[in-house]
Chains A and B, each alone.
Chain A
Amino acid sequence: MIGSVPVQGLPGGQHDVKFQLMTDSGKVASDTPSGGGPLVVLEKVNKYFGDLHVLQDIDLTVHRGEVVVVIGPSGGGKSTLCRSINRLEPIDDGKILVDGEALPAEGKQLARHRADVGMVFQSFNLFAHKTILQNVTLGPIKVRKVAKSTADKEALELLERVGIANQAEKYPAQLSGGQQQRAAIARALAMRPKVMLFDEPTSALDPEMVKEVLDVMTSLAGEGMTMIVVTHEMGFARRAANKVIFMADGQIVEENTPDEFFTNPRTDRAKDFLSKILTH
Chain B
Amino acid sequence: MNHAHGPKRRINRLSWLIGGAQGSGVDSAANVFARACAHGGLYVLGQREYYSNIMGEHSYYQVRVSDKPVKAIRHRADLLVSFDAETVFVHACDVSPNGGIVYDVKLETTPLDRVPTLDARFREDMRRFLEKQGVGLTLKDLLSVVAQGGVRLYPIPYDDLLQRLAEELQQPLSRVKRAVNTLAVAASTALLQYGVEWIEKALEEVFRGKARVVASNVRAAELAYDYVARTFEDDFPCRLEPVETQEARIFLTGTQAVALGKILAGCSVQTYYPISPATDESVFLESHPSIRLRNGEEGALLVLQTEDETAAIDLAIGAAIAGARAATSTSGPGFSLMVEGLGFAVINEVPVVITLYQRGSPSTGMPTRTEQGDLRFVLHAGHGEGPRIVLASGDLEEAFYDEVRAFNWAERYQVPVIHLLDKALASTSETRPLYDTHGVKVERGKLLFEEDLPGASEDGAIRRFRFTDDGISPRTLPGTEGGIFWLTSDEHDEWGHITEDPVVRTRMMEKRMQKLETAAREIPREEKLNVFGGPEAEAVILSWGSSKGAIVEAMELLEAEGFPLKFVQVRLLCPFPAEEIAQELEGAERIVAIENNFSGQLAALVREKTGIAADHLLVKYNGRPMTVEEVYEGIKRCLTEGEEAPRKVVLTHGR
Chains A and B belong together in one complex: no
Binding site for A on B (CB under 8 A): none
